[in-house]
Amino acid sequence: MKNKSVKITLRVTLIVIFMASLLYGVVYVVNQQSSSSIKSMVVEPFLTKKVKEYEPTIEKYAKEHGVKNHVDTLLAMMMQESGGRGEDPMQSSESYCGEIGCIDNPEKSIDQGVKYFAESLEAANGDVRLAVQSYNFGKGFSNYVREQETTFSQEITIEFSQDMYAKAEDKSAYTCLREEAKEFDACYGDIYYSRDVMRYKELFAKN
């Protein structure tokens, strides 16, 4: 009788474990499907709606500044900078007047942003990823990469940020935008700016 009771208890335990595993699997699949649905309904349109409204203006100035083949990159850069929001959607005030907030007109922001990207692309000898990162760091980044006799990479990006941050007289003027930047002591600019712009560019290409 005792052995029979043990067998029944063991069988019930196995059934409970099986049912729990099955329930977990169902919940996981539902959550994954829900997550995918949310992404398709919310994230994907958000990637393009506001920025796409500026596409004709970006095309206009891209043609004017000789970078008409890089409209998709410029759209991705605007997405990374502001998502198309605000009066300075390209966040180009600093390259225009040396400080934040001096541009308060979207068309002027785009004109200056595209112009600065064109200059960065020239300084980068046509390397788009280097030019994009230089938009964030400043055109001096291209010079730094050449001086190191190397090409654009995540490693040289972090190294440049570390170097500039170490040389800064007032480190409080810089805010580490990411936890990884804090770990690297690379708080000058955004060390993953080019990477994230290229991801947005891929999303624009799919839509």
The per-residue pLDDT string of the chain (207 residues; one tens digit each, 9 = 90 and over) reads: 545 454 445 554 545 444 555 444 434 433 444 333 333 333 344 567 889 999 999 999 999 999 999 999 999 999 999 999 999 999 999 999 999 999 999 999 999 999 999 999 999 999 999 999 999 999 999 999 999 999 999 999 999 999 999 998 887 778 887 888 888 999 999 999 999 999 999 877 776
Question: Within this chain, do residues 29 and 76 fall inside the same structural domain, yes or no?
Answer: no
Question: Within this chain, do residues 88 and 61 fall inside the same structural domain, yes or no?
Answer: yes
Mention every residue, 6+ apart, whose C-beta is less than 8 A from residue 150.
156
Number of domains in the chain: 2
- Taking the CA of residue 147 as centre, how many other CA atoms within 13 Å lie in the half-sphere pointing to its CB? 7
Question: Within this chain, do residues 60 and 150 fall inside the same structural domain, yes or no?
Answer: yes
Question: Within this chain, do residues 151 and 183 fall inside the same structural domain, yes or no?
Answer: yes
Question: Within this chain, do residues 54 and 37 fall inside the same structural domain, yes or no?
Answer: no
Helix (H/G/I), strand (E/B), else coil: 116 = helix
Distance, CA of 194 to CA of 187 (rounded, Å): 15
Question: What CATH number has the domain bearing residue 54?
Answer: 1.10.530.10
Range of the domain at 1: 1-42
Question: Within this chain, do residues 94 and 184 fall inside the same structural domain, yes or no?
Answer: yes
pLDDT (tens digit per residue) in 62-85: 999 999 999 999 999 999 999 999
Q: What pLDDT, on the 0 to 100 scale, is given for residue 19?
A: 54
Q: For residue 201, give the nearest of 80, 57, 69, 72 by alpha carbon.
A: 72
Question: Within this chain, do residues 97 and 177 fall inside the same structural domain, yes or no?
Answer: yes
pLDDT (tens digit per residue) in 82-108: 999 999 999 999 999 999 999 999 999
Provide the whole-model pTM.
0.76
